[in-house]
Amino acid sequence: MKKEDLRIVFLGTPEFAVESLDLLVKEGFNIAGVVTMPDKPAGRGHRMFESPVKLYAKQHGLKLMQPAKLKDPEFIKELQKIDADLFIVIAFRMLPEVVWQMPRLGTFNLHAALLPRYRGAAPINWVVDTAATETGVTTFFLKHEIDTGDIISQERVEILPTDNVGDVHDKLMHLGARLTLDTVNHILKGDLTTIPQEKLIGQGEEASLAPKIFKETCRIDWSKPAVNVHNLVRGLSPYPCAWTELYDASAPEGKALYNIKILETSVVECGGAQSAAPGSISGGDRHLTVTCGDGAVEILRLQPAGKKAMTATEFLRGARMPESAVAR
């Protein structure tokens, strides 16, 4: 079979998925259909948001489907009419079995981690948050349990100490596109070999989870060691961002002075015994240093609610920060 004859349906939503779709199109593969999320209102003006994958599909004249429900009979009929040989899933919703079992060559997923590690919705965030020094991408065939299918191939990349989740995202986006193309080429040639994840686990590989990130996941617990706080910030920057609230400790318990997202920090070396309580703020009018359960971090870049991102010095220049200010 020639690559022009291999009928592919591509399922994805964000920019991370566009990189792989674009490479397949440029390499001349037959993208018979593209499935992405329905448009939804976003922002203050509630303008309808179109996913990056939809915008790409429209720009290149690809057949586009946006089902509200993946088990919708009309959507299933539309997929059946396409009669695709292969489905590729990248950063999309969990598929029902009636969908992923449809193509004769199967359905494979590109996962942004080295399975069986970091199974779940937010692998890039958690791999940085846990201070890993290496990650990668995995292609695998879908099965019933999420992210547990037989592994087709993997590629690895180093995580630098200065990398945040945005940096790692971009590395994996490009690496993943190349791995997706390589996987499709092997499927086309019919020389594919797979490895069950259970076999890797039996050989000592550790399975771990990377669950969905919620707002409370992002709130900083200043009683944690400074290194943990720093890695949390790295693992959530630039999106969805770690956050905290600043209060006046001398005032009656009430409304926070500021709600801030924290984009960048550094761990501060503290000599001698630590006397200040976690959440205590120091640094004068140019630095914003917060005591942690062990050590301290300096906040370098932040974004107050309703304002643009700025340096800590810029924030302190305009903020009304009492000497008794604390982070909670």
Question: Residue 21 — left, alpha, or beta (φ > 0 → left; ψ -120 to 50 → alpha)?
Answer: alpha
Cα–Cα–Cα angle for 288, 317, 300, rounded to 5 degrees: 35
pLDDT computed for residue 141 by the predictor: 98
Judged on CB neighbours under 10 Å (0-12, 13-18, 19+), 204 is exposed
HSE value, Cβ hemisphere, 13 Å, CA-based, for 1: 17
Residue 296 CA, chain-centre distance (Å), reads 27
User: What's the pTM value of the predicted model, to 2 decimals?
Assistant: 0.94
Cα–Cα–Cα angle for 72, 74, 75, rounded to 5 degrees: 65
Question: Residue 298 — left, alpha, or beta (φ > 0 → left; ψ -120 to 50 → alpha)?
Answer: beta
Which helix (H) or strand (E) is 139 found in, with range? Answer: strand 134-141
Cβ atoms of 201 and 45 closer than 8 Å: no
Position 40 pLDDT exceeds 70: yes
Tell me which residue of 183, 177, 164, 55 sits closest to 112, measured CA to CA: 177
The domain spans of the chain are 3-202, 215-327
Cα–Cα–Cα angle for 202, 203, 208, rounded to 5 degrees: 70
| Each residue's pLDDT tens digit, 165-211 | 999 999 999 999 999 999 999 999 999 999 999 999 999 999 999 99
Q: Tell me how far apart the alpha carbons of residues 64 and 324 are, in angstroms, rounded to a whole number.
A: 57
Which residues, at least 6 apart from 57, have a Cβ–Cβ distance to it below 8 Å? Answer: 21, 34, 36, 63, 64
| Each residue's pLDDT tens digit, 279-299 | 999 998 899 999 999 999 999
Cis peptide before 38 (omega within 30 of 0): no
Q: How many CB atoms lie within 10 A of CB 156?
A: 10
CATH architecture of the domain with residue range 215-327:
Roll (3.10)
| Each residue's pLDDT tens digit, 62-114 | 999 999 999 999 999 999 999 999 999 999 999 999 999 999 999 999 999 99
| Domain at 3-202, CATH from 3.30.1380.10, 3.40.50.170, 2.60.40.10, 3.90.1170.50 | 3.40.50.170
Mean pLDDT of the chain: 95
Tell me which residue of 102, 68, 65 sits closest to 85, measured CA to CA: 102
